[in-house]
């Protein structure tokens, strides 16, 4: 029997890789982990965590204004970007240390350097060569930098978390969740914000009602939308930038932020030497058990062309470690994973969109739009949208969607109900908590419309 230096080698110290390593070590495996950049991966360092801290920072100015309707004479102060970044960096450093401490406590061998594959069982780790029975690729992804003329002048999301100062005017390219979230952050901090996107509506792939509501919410914040537009080039003149659109329109701005997508972080890992197949974008091909074309090599997280969400990567890593070294994989429900966009206001969703449900058969749609209680006094032009998508035949609630305050917190509970097969009748007989926005999900009694083919026509 071949003797390996370790049982499991994890390339990547993000949330998924660290969870996989810790669980495997807990099962008695000899585990090593290599991370060349920062512990905690994108989420902890240049993603979910610092972004949400920035979202929180951006809300205080509006809260000061909203307080006037409640009798306060609060006056918004001047935001200091440098203070926010410094305090954010302290928190991230604390979290980095926690990740390292968890790995050390689990008995893992840690390499703070780059690891590449020499063959299916051999890795070059800094100046060392290490062999392992199993290898897990958990290197995550990175933002795409634009290729149009002058594209190198743009910043991307990684850069945004480390800017020393902010101009008065920012132009964001893109209509996905990163673009939408940062548009809200910058607008909330008092900057003038433009959003240039190829689609007519933001958030392609989300429910159409949510997309329309989000466009309205962005404009209500004073964010100028350039919908259905593409970029021709970008020029810089001193501190100023001129963004040329393909239709001849120009935007003068102080900073251009490109949020046009992400790609797997697999370049130069030696995947070809190990016999690991990838797609045309560098994504690792793997089956439902995360096994790649190399029998002993697995992949989890954003290197896969699946759900690019931190909790999903954690679930994949945990499940894989249990399968390889434990009693068997823990069951995770990945068919209807709840997700949120921490926009202003936030958006959250779980399950099928109306269009997806209608493609499977008739679906009953329940939709509610209203001014949330807070803004009946604040006077802020902000509306909440809530929507349930119900399979007409079974009456199971197959989708829930919300735009409005606390959407993510509310959707977490709804995801349990939907993943448990709750029906519309189950929602209807649930007593709501009053007065809350969340109670609207259990008091929507009147069907708004039917999506897809009517039931009687489908039966013919």
Angle at 96 between CA 271 and CA 56, to 5 degrees: 110
Beta bridge mates, 388? 366, 400
Q: Are 438 and 362 in contact (CB under 8 A)?
A: no
Q: Are 58 and 88 in contact (CB under 8 A)?
A: no
401 among known catalytic residues: no
User: What backbone phi and psi angles, to 5 degrees, belong to 263?
Assistant: -130, 155
Where residue 129 falls (left for φ over 0; alpha for ψ -120 to 50; beta otherwise) is: beta
Bond preceding residue 435 cis, omega within 30 of 0? yes
Q: Are 162 and 88 in contact (CB under 8 A)?
A: no
Q: Which secondary structure element, helix H or strand E, spans residue 363, and what is its range?
A: strand 363-370
Identify the residue whose tokens are 């001047």. Answer: 78
How many angstroms separate the Cα of 389 from the Cα of each of 348, 382, 398, 409, 418? 14, 23, 6, 19, 11
Which residues 6+ apart lie within 8 Å of 265 measured at CB? 139, 140, 141, 142, 282, 302, 303
Which residues 6+ apart lie within 8 Å of 15 measured at CB? 40, 41, 43, 44, 301, 310, 313, 314, 317
Bond preceding residue 345 cis, omega within 30 of 0? yes
Measured distance CA(420)–CA(417) in Å, rounded: 5
Measured distance CA(75)–CA(72) in Å, rounded: 9
Say which of 27, 169, 375, 434 is annotated catalytic.
Answer: 434
User: What is the distance, to the nearest Å, from the Cα of residue 283 to the centroid of all Cα atoms in its chain?
Assistant: 17
DSSP letter for 254, please. S
Report CA torsion sign: 153, 158, 162, 166. Answer: positive
Query: Which positions are catalytic?
Result: 434
């Amino acid at each position: 029997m071949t003797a390996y230096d370790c049982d499991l080698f994890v390339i990547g110290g993000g949330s998924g890789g660290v969870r996989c390593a810790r669980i495997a070590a807990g099962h008695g495996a000899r585990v090593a982990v290599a991370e060349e950049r920062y512990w905690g991966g994108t989420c902890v360092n240049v993603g979910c965590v610092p972004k949400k801290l920035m979202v929180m920072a951006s809300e205080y100015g509006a809260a000061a204004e909203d307080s006037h309707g409640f009798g306060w004479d609060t006056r918004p102060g001047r935001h200091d970007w440098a203070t926010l970044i410094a305090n954010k960096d302290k928190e991230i450093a604390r979290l980095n240390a926690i990740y390292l401490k968890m790995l050390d406590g689990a008995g893992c061998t840690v390499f703070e350097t780059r690891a590449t594959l020499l063959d299916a069982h051999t890795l070059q780790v800094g100046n060392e060569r290490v062999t392992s029975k199993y290898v897990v690729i958990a290197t995550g992804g990175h933002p795409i930098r634009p290729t149009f003329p002058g594209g190198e002048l743009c910043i991307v999301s990684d850069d945004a978390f480390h800017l020393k100062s902010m101009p008065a005017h920012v132009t964001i390219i893109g209509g996905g969740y990163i673009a939408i979230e940062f548009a809200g952050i910058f607008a909330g901090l008092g900057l003038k914000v433009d959003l240039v996107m190829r689609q007519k509506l933001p958030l392609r792939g989300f429910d159409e009602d949510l997309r329309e509501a989000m466009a309205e919410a962005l404009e209500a914040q004073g964010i100028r939308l350039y919908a259905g537009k593409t970029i021709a080039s970008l020029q810089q003149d001193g501190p100023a930038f001129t963004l040329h659109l393909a239709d001849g329109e120009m935007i003068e701005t102080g900073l251009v932020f490109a949020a046009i997508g992400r790609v797997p972080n697999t370049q130069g890992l030696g995947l070809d030497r190990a016999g690991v197949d990838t797609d045309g974008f560098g994504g690792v091909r793997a089956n439902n058990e995360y096994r790649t074309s190399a029998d002993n090599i697995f992949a989890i997280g954003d290197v896969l062309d699946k759900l690019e969400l931190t909790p999903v990567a954690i679930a994949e890593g945990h499940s894989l470690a249990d399968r390889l070294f434990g009693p068997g994989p823990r069951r995770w429900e990945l068919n209807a994973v709840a997700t949120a966009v921490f926009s202003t206001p936030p958006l959250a969703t779980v399950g099928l969109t109306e269009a997806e449900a209608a493609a499977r058969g008739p679906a009953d749609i329940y939709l509610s739009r209203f001014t949330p209680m807070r803004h009946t006094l604040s006077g802020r032009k902000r509306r909440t949208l809530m929507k349930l998508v119900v399979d007409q035949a079974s009456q199971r609630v197959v989708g829930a969607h919300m735009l409005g305050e606390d959407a993510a917190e509310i959707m977490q509970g709804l995801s349990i109900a939907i993943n448990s097969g709750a029906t519309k009748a189950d929602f209807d007989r649930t007593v709501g908590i009053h007065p809350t926005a969340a109670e609207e999900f259990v008091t929507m009694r009147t069907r708004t419309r039917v999506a897809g083919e009517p039931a009687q026509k489908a039966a013919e």
